[in-house]
Amino acid sequence: MILIHSSKLLNSISATTNIATVSFFKDELHNTPAFKEKLDMLLTWSVTPLQYGDHRPFAAVTLIRSWRDRVCERATRRDIETPNDFLQDQLFDWLDTSEVAGEIKSIRHIALLFEELVKRELFSYAKYIQRLIARGETGLSTTEVCPFGLNSMIIEPVFLEFRISTPPVLALDSSTQFNFV
């Protein structure tokens, strides 16, 4: 029943919806099956070609950020661990196991979703790459079949778009010259 209500709620969101009024995660604690199911539903809804609207990835990121901010505030007041590492793990696992994340036709939508998650500091690209390297994955070419979910090939095809669209970062070296990183 909860998932049916959640599905209807997501499908009612349009480009003109005031997303601040949408209560998707409500009071779910982050390490519960209910939260994981709703996060999976939200991520899938935001990238599946079966749904309508370019607003979906942005709405999903806003809902996740709202939940994360609320839980972080609660964690700070209670002096407990924030949900940031948990969220990183859940997003990584979704990329690795979700059926829609393994579909080639979803790559552009997934790239947009994860670009927004990175911009809003909800997903760490550096931690993602570290985890793939720790697993011994170097990425697949775009012509290979994706046997283990999108994580198997996401290093190059998906985040290439993110790297190109990200402006260079300036850094000072010891001789106080500007260098592009």
Q: What pLDDT sits at residue 82?
A: 83
Residue 176: pLDDT band (50, 70, 90) is: very low
pLDDT at 115 over 80: yes
Report the C-alpha gap between 162 and 164 in whole angstroms.
5
pLDDT at 175 over 80: no
Q: Hey, what are 104's tokens?
A: 């080639």
pLDDT digits (tens, 9 = 90+) for 129-172: 999 889 887 654 444 444 445 554 444 444 444 433 443 333 33
More confident of the two residues 137 and 3: 137
Lowest mean pLDDT among 89-93, 97-101, 142-146: 142-146
pLDDT digits (tens, 9 = 90+) for 26-56: 766 667 788 889 999 999 999 988 777 788 9
DSSP state of 179: E
pLDDT at 103 over 60: yes
Sequence-distant (≥ 6) Cβ neighbours of residue 169 within 8 angstroms: 180, 181
Q: What pLDDT sits at residue 119?
A: 96
The reported pTM is 0.72
Sequence-distant (≥ 6) Cβ neighbours of residue 57 within 8 angstroms: 46, 47, 109, 112, 113, 116
Report the C-alpha gap between 127 and 111 in whole angstroms.
17
Let me know: does 162 contact 125? Beta carbons within 8 Å: yes
Output 28-31 pairs: Cβ under 8 A, ≥24 positions apart. 28/67, 30/71, 30/83, 30/86, 30/87, 31/86
CA nearest neighbour of 21 among 75, 81, 68, 66: 66
Let me know: does 34 contact 28? Beta carbons within 8 Å: yes
Q: What pLDDT sits at residue 114?
A: 96
The listed range with the strongest mean pLDDT (102-111, 113-122, 161-170) is 113-122
Q: What is the mean pLDDT of the chain?
A: 76
